[in-house]
Homo-oligomer: A and B are copies of this chain.
Amino acid sequence: MRIDAEVVQSHNDKTLPDHRESFGHLSRVLEKKRLEPTHLIQKIQDFQIAIPSWALGTGGTRFGRFPGGGEPRSLEEKMDDVGLLHALNKASGAISLHIPWDIPSDVEAIKAHAASHGLLFDAVNSNTFQDQPDQLHSYKFGSLCHTSAAVRKQAIDHNLEVVRYGEALGSKSLTVWLADGSSFPGQMNFRKALQRTLDSLRAIYAGMPEDWKLFVEYKPYEPYFYSTVIQDWGTSHLLASQLGERAFTLVDLGHHLPNTNIEQIVATLMMQSKLGGFHFNDSKFGDDDLTVGAMKPYQLFLIFNELVAGMEDPESTNPSPAWMIDASHNLKDPLEDLLQSVEAIQLAYAQALLIDRVALEEARERNDPTMAQEILQEAYRTDVRPLIAEARLQAGGALHPIQVFRTISVRKELIKERGLKSLSTGL
């Protein structure tokens, strides 16, 4: 199923007058603050968020999985789903593949299919946290950190294979998320495991094309419940520093201990020119993988405050980070969930663009926390939804993506096409 541009437009037409009024009011407010709406809209349109191929089916927990219907049955159908999102929000113009779940059999056909939806291929992702049916060695006790050289070699080779698939499709980076860890005190020699992981990553790094980047993700726990080899940004940063200039830390919002100040980590990494990528989601307890912005929208705004500050700093040498959603859709329709996530990201980004940075720095210099808070809240409390809607409208997307999604019964169509019990590959 594809959404016709005219269908989108006809829906837009119905709510256009209300939008015009709201956008007009917001524009006047912004202009009084010497903020140029056109300029902001351009930035918002340029901000594209990759959708991971595994996020298009229903997710589950260890206790069970309650599938919806119409899930994509192939890589092509996954691209179709991202295409549906992008047709509505014009902000999901990239897909992030997960190997071996999404091995492209016919590379050229896949590239053409992607192009037909206007999609690029973002970072590719390896998988050494599960055993595949045909796999020689098990990852039950780790992959790149494993005590056995044979297992490590298998995992390194897998990563290099992922790089080759990505190369063929036009990706420029590899994200390594390593489940490797232990569940019991004593199980693992921490120092040796970290050394082996570094050595394995070095082999992968050496095997990447010269214009590729390596993103090293960190996570404190799960699926192991005592230790993770790359438990925090400090460990990831240590590895990335020792690997080389094209190795970076990747931050996943859900991969932190309770109460972590994530925005400060982001600032520190950008200061060190080591922030490579970002996985968006939201959570209350652990790596809950909920809709972005569903739980802590102000924290998201504070993170974007740092991201924008870093990206707009002329002295910064940090490369433009890769943006991706990494969530699990256990209860909601995955496509609706992703539309909500993208919108939440855009809102936080737009609000961060509104921050009066000159005044903020002045307040900081004179140690005036009251005013610093006022300045942040002034931006955060502004209703920037008309700005996002306008950015979508001008790009040919929908003023109200979820509304259109429901009105034209996308899910019903997908079920008709793919069946009620289709099963997405992967998790």
Contact = CB atoms under 8 A, between A and B. Distances in A.
Interface of A: 18, 21-22, 25, 28-29, 32, 59-64, 66, 129-131, 138-141, 147, 179, 182-192, 194-195, 220-223, 225-227, 231-235, 237-238, 257-261, 263-264, 267-268, 270-272, 283-286, 288, 290-291, 293-299, 302, 305-306, 309-310, 328, 330-333, 336-337, 340, 347, 360-361, 363-367, 369-370, 372-377, 380-383, 385, 402, 427
Given A63-B130, A64-B129, A295-B226, A234 B231 contact: no
A22 B18 contact: no
A227 B264 contact: yes
A358 to B, nearest CB: 13
Given A25-B25, A62-B60, A141-B331, A189 B370 contact: no
Given A184-B294, A294-B185, A259 B258 contact: yes
Nearest to A28: B21
A32 B60 contact: no
A264 B185 contact: no
12 contacts: A66-B139, A185-B295, A187-B364, A187-B372, A191-B271, A191-B309, A194-B268, A220-B259, A221-B288, A237-B238, A258-B258, A295-B298
A274 B261 CA distance: 24
A309 B385 CA distance: 26
A186 B258 contact: no
B32 A25 contact: no
Contacts of A288: 183, 221, 225
A261 B227 contact: yes
Given A258-B257, A285-B286, A331-B183, A62 B234 contact: no
Given A141-B367, A257-B259, A259-B285, A186 B270 contact: no
A189 B147 contact: no
A184 B138 contact: no
Contacts of A290: 183-184, 225-226
B283 A225 contact: yes
A64 B192 CA distance: 25
A191 B268 contact: yes
A29 B263 CA distance: 34
A223 B375 CA distance: 24
Nearest to A293: B377
A131 B55 CA distance: 22
Contacts of A192: 364
Nearest to A32: B18
A66 B330 contact: no
Contacts of A130: 63-64
Contacts of A263: 185, 190
A185 B352 CA distance: 13
Contacts of A62: 59-62, 223, 328, 427
A362 to B, nearest CB: 11
Nearest to A337: B370
B188 A364 contact: yes
Contacts of A340: 370, 373-374
Contacts of A147: 364-367
Contacts of A306: 190
A361 B233 CA distance: 28
A233 B234 contact: yes
- In the A-B complex, list the 10 residue pairs whose CB atoms are closest, starting with the nearest: A234-B234, A186-B372, A190-B267, A66-B140, A225-B288, A64-B130, A141-B367, A383-B383, A61-B223, A187-B369
